[in-house]
Amino acid sequence: MNCELLFLRANDPIHIGTGGYSLGRVDNSILREPATNIPKIPGTALSGASRHYAAAIYSKAVDGSELCAGQGPHCGKCPICYAFGYSRADTDNYAGTVNVFDAQIILFPTRSIYGTVWVTTERLLKEGRVKIPSRATVPYTANNDWKDKPITLGWRLIHKLKFGALTFSPAISGIVSNRVIVVDEGEFGLVVNGNLEVRTSVAIDPKTGTAKDKALFTYEAIPRNTIFMMEVLEDDYRRGGGFPVVDGLCWNRPLDVLFCGLRDIAHRGVGGMGTRGFGRLALLDDNSVSETRSDDDDQRDDQREETSHVMSENLDYLAAKYSQKLVKDAIEEGVDAQKLENAVTKMLGILQSNGVYGFFLFTRSKRESSEEQADAAALGLLGEVFSIAEAIESLENLSEKFCREPYINHLAQTVLERYLIYARYHAKAEKA
């Protein structure tokens, strides 16, 4: 038997449906691993698509022979039948000589203040045969420039990252570089399920060419540039029969047939929504993953330093918390809800047009109760987001803390925008 570990990249969003509608945030959900609730691509989908594409290539190579794909009919003599098995009513049935297992997500792309990053866990890295740095504790990053800095994963905030060197194969490194964040299992599930692609479509009425009434539906997908890993097994139990070699095709063993079909998925796709820009999945030909250790790694893996995990915070919760504080404090000061809504709307426009520093200049130039409460709540929000204990009230401190580094400035503005949007609607609700 010969077992190989393969890596694949999603060139398009991937939708492997569950076969029906469900009650949830989308109408058409995707298949997930029951124990972890993490999306996956089942081996059946990959095996079926690979067989079909390899059979089409074989048929063309031998002048349009019968296509030995699907449920038949099968010839029982070609490389396709030998590799994937066949079933015929008039003869014995044979199982395939290649086993295709589920493709699991190993590196999941998500947005951050530093652009796109790929999130993974130590368990996944071990399964992908990547050596884990012994002294690093999650969360940590493979990018030394991000050491001891905050980072966002969608709307989740990690206050401080540690560093741990990781070395992937050239094929994977060419995609993710060192933009990898290692988190714990619970965090990984939240990041993945919180950052899946969700699309909305509507059926078109063929008579009018317009949207059909009550035909709106939503569906989710694994996003583009997700990296998967999967194992394939060649168990050539039929060695006595001999693998049928075909002139013009470089197929010398059953796995060659599978690899040919897998490579064609990069052009023809797998799963649903293929006519809507979904499904292409590329096999990364460099399948080896080298072992690595960080520079200061002088301990064995079973002697890893015990350090508590740094949990992330939900930026959305912090924005909601301080928006509630702003409205509550302003109402208690006697500010009219309509006046507060108007003031917050104006502050939001200033922030979006002039940035963080412009926002604080505006709040301090007005000297009104609404602006004073907004200023105080905003300082509390930024202090909690960036774990700043010292006073940051002065404009000099504000510009130094939140305007010098572009990534920090972008995060501060993003959080303040969400805070003001929530405060605006809180004030509107107070009027109702």
Residue 322 and residue 301 share a domain: no
- Whether 33 shows a pLDDT value over 80: the answer reads yes
Q: Are residues 305 and 335 in the same domain?
A: no
The DSSP symbol for 132 reads: P
What is d(CA 366, CA 103) in angstroms, rounded to the nearest whole number? 58
Q: State residue 59's pLDDT score.
A: 84
**Average of pLDDT values for 352-371?**
91
Q: How high is the pLDDT of residue 247?
A: 76
Give the list of residues 6+ apart from residue 394 with CB closer than 8 angstroms, or none: none
- Quick one: average pLDDT of 203-225? 89
**Same-domain pairing of 158 and 225:** yes
Element holding 126 (H helix, E strand)? helix 122-127
What distance, in Å, lies between the first and last C-alpha atoms of the chain? 71
| Of 16-30, 134-148, 187-201, 292-306, the least confident | 292-306
In this prediction, residues 398-409 reach a mean pLDDT of: 88
Total structural domains in the chain? 2
Whether the predicted pLDDT of 363 surpasses 50: yes
Q: Are residues 287 and 379 in the same domain?
A: no
Residues 6+ apart with CB under 8 A from 267: 280
pTM: 0.80
What span, in angstroms and rounded, lies between the C-alpha atoms of 340 and 431? 10
Q: CATH number, domain at 350?
A: 1.10.520.30
Tell which residue, 418, 39, 9, has the closest CA to residue 197.
Answer: 39
Q: If we measure between CA atoms, which residue out of 7, 8, 13 comes closest to residue 224?
A: 13
Tokens of 330: 């302003």
Distance CA 94, CA 357 (A): 72
Note whether 284 and 383 are same-domain residues.
no
Instruction: Look at residue 299 in the predicted model and tell me its pLDDT.
Output: 42
Residue that finishes a domain, picked among 311, 328, 345: 311
- Position 287 pLDDT exceeds 80: no
- pLDDT of 75: 80
Over residues 218-235, the mean pLDDT reads 94
Same domain, 222 and 370: no
Domain of 392, in residue numbers: 313-431
| Same domain membership, residue 363 and residue 270 | no
Average pLDDT rounded to a whole number, residues 347-359: 94
User: How crowded is residue 163: how many other Cβ atoms within 10 Å of its Cβ?
Assistant: 19
Tell whether 228 and 331 lie within a shared domain: no
Residue 295's pLDDT band (cuts 50, 70, 90) = very low
65 and 183: one domain? Answer: yes
DSSP 36: T
The two structure tokens encoding residue 82 = 């030998």
Q: What is the pLDDT of residue 331?
A: 92
Tens of pLDDT, residues 123-164: 999 999 998 888 778 899 999 999 988 899 988 889 888 999
- CA 268/CA 258 separation, integer angstroms: 15
Q: Is the pLDDT of residue 288 over 50?
A: no
Higher pLDDT pick, 238 / 302 = 238
Pair 427, 381 in one domain: yes
Last residue of a domain, one of 311, 333, 351: 311
Q: Determine whether 281 is exposed, middle or buried from the number of CB atoms within 10 Å of its CB (0-12, 13-18, 19+).
A: buried
Q: How does DSSP assign 350-385, residue by residue?
A: HHHHHHHHHHHHHHHHH--HHHHHHHHHHHHHHHHH
Same domain, 298 and 362: no
Among 311, 346, 376, the domain boundary falls at 311
pLDDT in tens, 259-271: 999 999 999 999 9
The predicted pLDDT at position 64 comes to: 64
- The answer on 363 and 303 residing in a single domain is no
Q: In the chain, pLDDT over 70 holds for what percent of residues? A: 89
pLDDT tens sequence across 58-75? 888 876 666 777 666 788
- Which pLDDT value is given to residue 239? 67
Q: Regarding predicted confidence, which is higher, 374 or 405? A: 374
Q: Is the pLDDT of residue 290 over 80?
A: no
Q: Which residues contact 399 (CB under 8 A, 6 or more apart)?
A: 357
